[in-house]
């Protein structure tokens, strides 16, 4: 076959069915380029070959041999189609069996040289490999006998299919343009981009894989920095509505909150209002159709630990803008959170005469009352609704504001420039051609180490909430090894008896969404058995948004006592009556994430407890989890994550080509190099080109 081109459709690579094409599109794999940039989440080491005679039950192994017999048959009781084979090498032979995969018998007839990978089990006939990975033995193996790439999957796409398609796409890697000049590349000792892409999928060894990951990560950081630079320059040109702060309104909204703001909250409010009031000196305030546009767009990040009270700060800012006759968009990351935050803001702002809307795919309310989409759309367009709480979808073009002056982005985990780009589209262009932008407040609970604040958030001003609201005590955290599970169950019974609620969070499984579903469903069934009198809810990302919302609401209304969930709940679910959290397979999470999760409990009067459960009783796991148990300071944990993780460790969470790498987990040395290179590119004769930004 001819060498494919980057923009060619995946369907041209191989005869793939319509169904598979649709599923690949779900992974956003439409073209050859997409496949090349779909970096594996990890590699399995299937390099060392085992002699068949040396196979041991329970120990994963790779063997190389010849099929001596293979046949399909139906299992008698169940209508299951079995494929049975015997594979032999110089030392012995082993039985293999596959279920419902009759093609195996056709693809690997007797006499075929094969490589098998699997974990042997033993029954009365001896050792057996059940559903091993099988591949023809050849010079370049894809599935065994090497470092084997493991990709993030969606239902109905297999690792084997993906590996095969990627291998067909690889010859096109040479067509990838390299955004770095040879001079810089050689000086920085980086692979070429084409080599990096080849090696990131099918590396010869660990060193090659690390070098490939480093190069791609380097590109992502450089791209990010260049985009931030571009957006900063654009911002410096732009103007924004100058908000006249009504001091009486500030006092009224503070009075409407059910608590007194902490010193840190007061300080953040002051900084935000200061930003929005400031005028651009060279542009005198000029009254236009929308009022005074002589301001400078605020670009502020509100950084505060879970439970530090970011919502209240946002509420004061929103009230001031609404009171000035303008509109606010409050964006939450999930449907569940949107509905929850809308309820809180409605409760606080509606009594002040500020109309708050909730706008998600499934829930549309104005001041708590359900309305039709048409009514909602009209109310936002006319300006009757001042505060619109919604998912990120409300930045889409279809939603028209009459006078959007402030966008608040809650729980922003990544500092992608996408939302800012979307906001820029909402800019109005004034008579003299100056773009007028809404002010922007992003909020995150992820503590960003100071070292990184300086290097990457150069274009954002930062307000830190470093003071806990008084009522909040640290969550008592303990590590639970298998032998101590009873203790944990006992604690949960105690909390339930006291009328409190609990979360059970299940660890993420990275290679296959189906595994995650199985884990959470299993935990749900186990909880039902262990607590027959309790009402137990289930929440995971595969449920429909309405169902997710119903599960959340049931927990919020205390209709359920225990909520078994995946990390869907990570971002901001607030139930003050929840006092206990169990995190299963806790070792799969980083420190910062564990800290975020436990922040979901102990938000009310009673103190919170958290159990970090693990099935792996190993010293490293204990050390990892003990640190979280012993440290209550989220910033300290983030610094530790940063020190411990090199660029390789975080690669799995990053997707090449999108700004989604978690910068606070980045190796500072790599960051510094990338920053220097970005500076060189910007200052070079050719300057920043499209190749640098895409």
Query: CB of residue 23 vs ligand ADP: minimum separation in angstroms?
Result: 37
Contact at 8 Å (CB) between 97 and 33?
no
420 backbone dihedrals φ, ψ, rounded to 5°: -65, -35
Query: CB of residue 474 vs ligand ADP: minimum separation in angstroms?
Result: 14
Let me know if 623 is exposed, middle or buried by CB neighbors in 10 A (0-12, 13-18, 19+). Answer: exposed
- Rounded distance between C-alpha atoms, residue 200 and residue 349, angstroms: 51
262 binds, among Mg ion, ligand ADP, none (CB under 5 to 8 A by kind): ligand ADP
Angle at 213 between CA 211 and CA 214, to 5 degrees: 65
Query: CB of residue 617 vs ligand ADP: minimum separation in angstroms?
Result: 33
Query: CB of residue 265 vs Mg ion: minimum separation in angstroms?
Result: 13
What's the token pair of residue 680?
């060189």
43 binds, among ligand ADP, Mg ion, none (CB under 5 to 8 A by kind): none
Going along 426-482, which residue ranges are E strands? 428-429, 435-436, 439-444, 461-465, 476-480
CB closer to ligand ADP, 601 vs 671: 601
Query: CB of residue 482 vs ligand ADP: minimum separation in angstroms?
Result: 32
610 backbone dihedrals φ, ψ, rounded to 5°: -135, 135
39 backbone dihedrals φ, ψ, rounded to 5°: -75, 140
CB closer to ligand ADP, 170 vs 505: 505
CB closer to ligand ADP, 33 vs 254: 254
412 binds, among Mg ion, ligand ADP, none (CB under 5 to 8 A by kind): none
CB closer to ligand ADP, 103 vs 259: 259
634 binds, among Mg ion, ligand ADP, none (CB under 5 to 8 A by kind): none
* Among 68-76, 272-280, 359-367, 572-580, the segment contacting Mg ion (CB under 5 A): 572-580
- Rounded distance between C-alpha atoms, residue 388 and residue 404, angstroms: 10
* Closest residue to ligand ADP, based on beta-carbon distance: 309
- Rounded distance between C-alpha atoms, residue 486 and residue 492, angstroms: 10
CB closer to Mg ion, 241 vs 572: 572
End-to-end CA distance of the chain: 29
CB closer to ligand ADP, 312 vs 388: 312
CB closer to Mg ion, 31 vs 548: 548
Among 118, 304, 572, 634, binds Mg ion (CB under 5 A): 572
Query: CB of residue 423 vs ligand ADP: minimum separation in angstroms?
Result: 21
Query: CB of residue 337 vs Mg ion: minimum separation in angstroms?
Result: 8
Where does this chain bind ligand ADP (CB under 6 A)?
Answer: 259-262, 265, 304, 306-312, 445, 469-471, 572, 574, 576, 603
For 200-214, letters b (16+ CB in 10 Å) and e give bbbbeeeebbbbbbb
- Under rule CB under 5 A, residue 513 binds Mg ion: no
CB closer to ligand ADP, 23 vs 600: 600
Contact at 8 Å (CB) between 64 and 88?
no
- Rounded distance between C-alpha atoms, residue 688 and residue 185, angstroms: 16
307 binds, among ligand ADP, Mg ion, none (CB under 5 to 8 A by kind): ligand ADP
656 binds, among Mg ion, ligand ADP, none (CB under 5 to 8 A by kind): none
Nearest to 645 by CA among 668, 672, 629: 668
Return the residue matching tokens 């309820």. 343
Which residues of this chain interact with Mg ion, rule CB under 5 A? 572
């Amino acid at each position: 076959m001819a060498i494919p081109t980057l923009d060619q459709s995946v369907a041209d690579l191989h005869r793939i069915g319509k169904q598979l094409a649709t599923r690949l599109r779900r992974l956003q794999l439409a073209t050859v380029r997409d496949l090349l940039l779909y970096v594996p989440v990890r590699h399995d080491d299937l390099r060392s070959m085992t002699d068949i005679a040396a196979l041991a039950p329970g120990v994963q192994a790779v063997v190389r041999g010849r099929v001596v017999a293979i046949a399909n048959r139906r299992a008698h009781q169940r209508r299951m189609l079995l494929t049975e084979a015997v594979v032999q090498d110089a030392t012995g032979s082993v039985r293999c069996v596959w279920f419902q995969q009759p093609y195996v018998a056709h693809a690997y007839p007797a006499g075929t040289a094969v490589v098998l990978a699997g974990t042997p089990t033993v029954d009365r006939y001896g050792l057996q490999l059940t559903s091993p990975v099988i591949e023809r033995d050849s010079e370049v193996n894809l599935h065994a006998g090497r470092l084997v790439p493991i990709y993030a999957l969606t239902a109905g796409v297999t690792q084997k299919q993906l590996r095969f398609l990627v291998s067909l796409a690889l010859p096109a890697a040479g067509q990838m343009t390299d955004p770095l000049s040879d001079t810089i590349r050689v000086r920085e000792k980086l692979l070429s981009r084409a080599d990096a892409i080849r090696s990131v999928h099918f590396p010869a060894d660990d060193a090659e894989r690390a070098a490939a990951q480093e190069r791609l990560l380097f590109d992502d950081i450089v791209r990010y920095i260049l985009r931030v630079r571009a957006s900063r320059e654009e911002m410096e040109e732009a103007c924004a509505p100058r908000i006249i702060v009504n001091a009486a309104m500030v006092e009224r909204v503070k009075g409407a909150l059910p608590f007194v703001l902490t010193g840190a909250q007061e300080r953040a409010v002051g900084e935000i209002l200061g930003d929005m009031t400031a005028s651009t000196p060279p542009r005198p305030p000029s009254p236009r159709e929308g009022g005074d546009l002589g301001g400078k767009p605020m670009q502020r990040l509100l950084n505060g630990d879970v439970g530090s009270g970011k919502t209240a700060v946002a509420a004061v800012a929103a009230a001031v803008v609404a009171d000035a006759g303008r509109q606010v968009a409050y964006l939450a990351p999930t449907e569940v959170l949107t509905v929850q935050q809308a309820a809180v803001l409605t409760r606080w702002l509606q009594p002040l005469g500020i109309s708050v809307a909730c706008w998600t795919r499934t829930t549309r309310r104005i001041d708590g009352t359900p309305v039709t989409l048409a009514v909602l759309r009209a109310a936002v367009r006319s300006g009757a609704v001042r505060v619109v709480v919604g998912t990120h979808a409300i930045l889409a073009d279809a939603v028209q504001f009459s006078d959007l002056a402030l966008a608040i982005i809650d729980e922003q985990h990544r500092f992608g420039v996408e939302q800012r780009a979307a906001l820029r589209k909402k800019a109005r262009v004034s008579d003299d051609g100056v773009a007028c932008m809404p002010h922007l407040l992003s909020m995150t609970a992820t503590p960003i180490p100071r070292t990184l604040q300086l290097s990457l958030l150069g274009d954002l001003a930062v307000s830190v909430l470093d003071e806990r609201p008084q009522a909040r005590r640290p969550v008592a955290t303990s590590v639970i090894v298998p032998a101590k599970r009873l203790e944990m169950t006992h604690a949960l019974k105690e909390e339930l008896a006291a009328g409190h609620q609990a979360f059970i969070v299940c660890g993420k499984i990275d290679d296959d969404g189906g595994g995650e579903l199985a884990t959470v469903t299993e935990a749900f069934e186990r909880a039902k058995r262990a607590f027959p009198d309790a009402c137990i809810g289930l929440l995971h990302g595969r449920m429909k948004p309405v169902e997710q919302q119903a599960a959340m609401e049931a927990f919020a209304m205390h209709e359920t006592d225990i909520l078994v969930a995946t990390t869907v709940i990570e971002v901001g679910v607030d139930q003050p009556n929840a006092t206990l959290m169990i995190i299963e397979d806790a070792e799969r999470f980083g420190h910062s994430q564990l800290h975020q999760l436990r922040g979901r409990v102990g938000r009310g009067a009673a103190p919170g407890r958290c159990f970090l459960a693990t099935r792996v009783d190993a010293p490293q796991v204990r050390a990892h989890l003990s640190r979280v148990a012993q440290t209550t300071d989220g910033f300290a944990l983030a610094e530790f994550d940063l020190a411990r993780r090199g660029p390789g460790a975080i690669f799995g969470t990053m997707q090449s080509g999108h700004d989604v790498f978690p910068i606070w987990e980045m190796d500072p040395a790599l960051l510094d190099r990338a920053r220097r290179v970005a500076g060189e590119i910007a200052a070079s004769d050719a300057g920043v080109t499209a190749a640098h930004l895409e």
